Structure formats: C-alpha cells, structure tokens
C-alpha cells in the first residue's frame, strides 16, 4: 500500500510487530508507529511491564493513531514465537513491519564470561532475531512486500571493552539481517539494521556510576579505548525510533541490507 493510499496516516492499514516493547527503544518505536497509523502488536517477555507500557501509550495516543495490542512473548522460544505470530496475524492481520528490538546485556572481561552469560546474550540478541524473522518474513515473502528493521548496536561495528558477548551477538544479528535481505529482496521484502550508540534507556543507565555517568559517556574514556560523542549528547529513544520508522516506510523503498548508525558520531563512521 502506498503512502498516498493509506487510509489513516503513513502506516494506516498496516500491521507492525515490535519486540522488546515494554520500555526504552522498543516502547518509543511502538509509540512512533502507532502515531503514524499502524496497528501495533507490542511484544515483550516482561508481561506486567508490557501491560503497563501499552496502557501508558494508549492513554497518551493521538485518537487518530493506530491501536496497540500487547502480546507476551519470549523471543528465545521458537515455538512461542510461531504461536504468537500466528495469533497476531489471526487477530490483527498479516504483519507488514517487523522491528526486532529485544535485547539483553552481560558485561565483563571476555575471559571472565560464563557459558550462561554467552548463551543468554545470544539467545535473545541473535537467535531471537532469527526466530521472529523466520516466522514473519515467510508470510511477507509470499505476499510480495514487507520491511524488517533490526535494532542492533554500534558495538556491532567497533570493539568495546567489557562487552564482547553483546558486541558479537549484535554483529551476528546485523549479518543475519543483511543475508536475509539479500535472499528476499526479489520478493519485495526489505531488511535493514539500526545501530544505536549510547541511548537513555534502563540498560544504559545501569552502566552509569553515579551522577557523572552521562558526562563520562559523552566525553569518552581513553583508558577503555572508547571515543566520546561528538554531538555532545546521549540519544533519546525517540532518536532511534525515528530512524526505524523511516526505514520501515515507503520513503525508504529503495534501501535494503544497510546498517544505519545513530550514535552522534561516536564510532567516527
């Protein structure tokens, strides 16, 4: 459906499924898509937090926006993903937009990570992307259209001290998304990645050590081989959501297999 024929906003008549929707970037993506008319299936394994988020977003939503429907989902469970996607498409309609946001972080020196740390990070950040993409893109390809946006991290493209599992999992998610995009391009499905830098989310705040945390992130840490942020600010979740929305839209109809860095210049790309 083209933008001009959308009955209600840019994404009117379209169904979007967003993982990791209970907070942070995921919640911002849900808000942005619904504001533009999409019917949004908001998913997260934190069922109570998801219910609260959807209630909050629904209360703040423009009456002209699309509905937001919560679906508890564990992206690490392939069977749960298949059941939930089937339910979403049965209740809301075929999924036109998939946004993979769900992610977890385990920090520490690479040589100190446990098998469980490594497994937990890859189960959500990489295997979760595979599970959702397999379940959703099969239908997109059969219908001849669709857009997938995977929210990764700028750590996918630059080494980070103490973040080896996270960086590796996000790099794998980006590579998978691009490979998928190559395979389904001829069937009208676009697959892109957004790579945020430091963003004001609960995950980011957990890394801060006291009130000086934000300043230290912006200034960088030479001892940890980490550059600062040239634009001089930490991103808001909405900064990332706006990039996701653009890539999901018809405005980006000729963009696929790309990874877009939204990090204020932190990786100097």
Q: What is the CATH number of the domain that holds 241?
A: 3.40.50.720
Shared-domain flag, residues 149 and 213: no
Residue 23 lies in a domain: yes
Q: Are 3 and 249 in contact (CB under 8 A)?
A: yes
Q: Are 63 and 34 in contact (CB under 8 A)?
A: no
CA atoms within 13 A on the CB side of 156: 26
The per-residue pLDDT for 214 is 64
Number of domains the chain contains: 2
Average pLDDT, the chain: 91
| Whole-structure pTM value | 0.91
123 and 57 in a common domain = yes
The β-bridge relationship of strands 259-262 and 15-18 is unpaired
Owning domain of residue 121: 3-197+236-259
- In this structure, the answer to whether residues 221 and 241 fall within a common structural domain is no
Tell me, yes or no, whether 152 and 204 share the same domain.
no
pLDDT value at residue 76? 98
- Measured at the CA of 214, the angle between CA 123 and CA 160, to 5 degrees, comes to 40
Answer yes or no: is 267 within a domain.
no
pLDDT digits (tens, 9 = 90+) for 36-76: 999 999 999 999 999 999 999 998 777 779 999 999 999 99
Catalytic machinery residues: 166
What tokens were used for 79? 């069977």
How much is the average pLDDT of 84-100?
Answer: 98
Question: For the segment 180-220, what is each residue's pLDDT rounded down to a tens digit?
Answer: 999 999 999 999 999 998 877 776 666 656 666 666 667 66
| 130/208 same-domain check | no
* pLDDT tens string 237-257: 999 999 999 999 999 999 999
Distance, CA of 160 to CA of 252 (rounded, Å): 30
Give φ, ψ of 151 to 5 degrees: -90, 110
Residue 4 pLDDT class (50, 70, 90 cuts): very low
Q: Would residue 220 count as lying in a domain?
A: yes
Answer yes or no: do 224 and 189 share one domain.
no
Residues 85 and 211 in one domain: no
């Amino acid at each position: 459906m083209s933008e001009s024929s959308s009955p209600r906003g840019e994404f009117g008549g379209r169904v979007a499924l967003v993982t990791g929707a209970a907070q942070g970037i995921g919640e911002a993506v849900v808000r942005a898509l619904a504001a533009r008319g999409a019917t949004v299936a908001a998913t997260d394994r934190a069922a109570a937090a998801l219910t609260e988020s959807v209630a909050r977003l629904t209360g703040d939503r423009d009456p002209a926006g699309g509905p937001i429907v919560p679906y508890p989902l564990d992206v690490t469970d392939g069977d749960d993903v298949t059941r939930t996607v089937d339910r979403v498409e049965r209740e809301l309609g075929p999924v036109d937009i998939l946004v993979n946001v769900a992610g977890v972080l385990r920090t520490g020196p690479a040589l100190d990570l446990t098998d469980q740390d490594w497994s937990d990070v890859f189960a959500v950040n990489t295997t979760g992307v595979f599970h959702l993409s397999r379940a959703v893109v099969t239908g997109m390809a059969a219908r001849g259209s669709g857009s997938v946006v995977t929210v990764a991290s700028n750590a996918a493209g630059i080494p980070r001290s103490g973040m080896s599992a996270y960086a590796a999992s996000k790099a794998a998610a980006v590579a998978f998304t691009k490979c998928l995009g190559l395979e389904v391009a001829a069937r009208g499905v676009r697959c892109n990645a957004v790579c945020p830098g430091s963003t004001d989310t609960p995950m980011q705040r957990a890394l801060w050590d006291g009130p000086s945390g934000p300043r230290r992130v912006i200034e960088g840490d030479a001892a940890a081989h980490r550059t600062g942020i040239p634009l001089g600010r930490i991103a808001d979740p909405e900064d990332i959501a706006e990039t996701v929305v653009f890539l999901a839209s018809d405005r980006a109809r000729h963009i696929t297999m790309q990874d877009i860095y939204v990090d204020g210049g932190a990786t100097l790309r």
